Amino acid sequence: MNDTMTLAERADALEHKMMGELDAIIVKSRLFNLADGDTSTPNGAALLARNPGKHMLMGDDLLQSARHAVRAGMDEKVVMACLVHDIGVIGFIRADHGYWGAQMVAPYVDEEVSWAIRAHQALRFYPDESVGYAYPDSYIKNFGADYRPDPYIEEEYRRARDHKWYMTARMITVHDIYSFDPEVVVELEEFTDIIGRNFRQPREGLGWDSSPSAHMWRTLIRPTRYL
């Protein structure tokens, strides 16, 4: 990375570097690629052939964060937040993923859960020694010791720090798993009861109810719909 790169370019470069260091292949969502007019579906076999010794990163790997929270004795709201805190990244968009993710699930989860998902985006950049969360070494390595998040992130952090649900959001950062262990098997069924108690599935199905975020789910379901 160099000083002439924009923040977005630096973030993309970091993302590619980190993905290269993992033993898993991370494929961006089809929706993400639509920005470049690409409506194709990634060829999994070709990707594996170009990356010998690696495996495709699947959704179940992302359950490790929730498993980590369960084993730490966190309550169900924290576990639910861990389950879906990066839903914006996985299915929709990377920029401001905390905001997008919170908006996507807000009609269907407790307000505390959606607030925590939004706030975790800012809290990642700020340590909290009281719970053992340090500023990630990878941020220093890739962005430099003097890097500071955008002003809106700093403002979001200050508001979150004094909020009654601060610790719920902070626990997302504590239990977020940045290095996935391919040997760990986590099944979605482990969280079926928690999801059932903490996610209000609309009768019509996601995307087909009249919630403020229904259009987002419809876009995910049919990303290439012409009209």
Mean pLDDT for 64-78 is: 93
The whole-model pTM stands at 0.75
Over its C-alpha atoms, the chain yields an Rg (Å, rounded) of 18
> Residue 60 pLDDT > 50, yes or no?
no
DSSP element (H, E) containing 192: helix 192-198
How many whole angstroms separate alpha carbon 79 and alpha carbon 65?
Answer: 8
> Residue 140 pLDDT > 90, yes or no?
no
Give residues with Cβ within 8 angstroms of 140, minimum separation 6: 147
Mean pLDDT for 155-165 is: 97
Q: Among 69-83, 128-142, 188-202, where is mean pLDDT lowest? A: 128-142
Predicted confidence band of residue 64 (pLDDT cuts 50, 70, 90): confident
pLDDT at res. 59? 46
Q: Among 18-22, 138-142, 153-157, 166-170, where is mean pLDDT lowest? A: 18-22
Give the Cβ contact number of residue 114 at 10 Å: 21
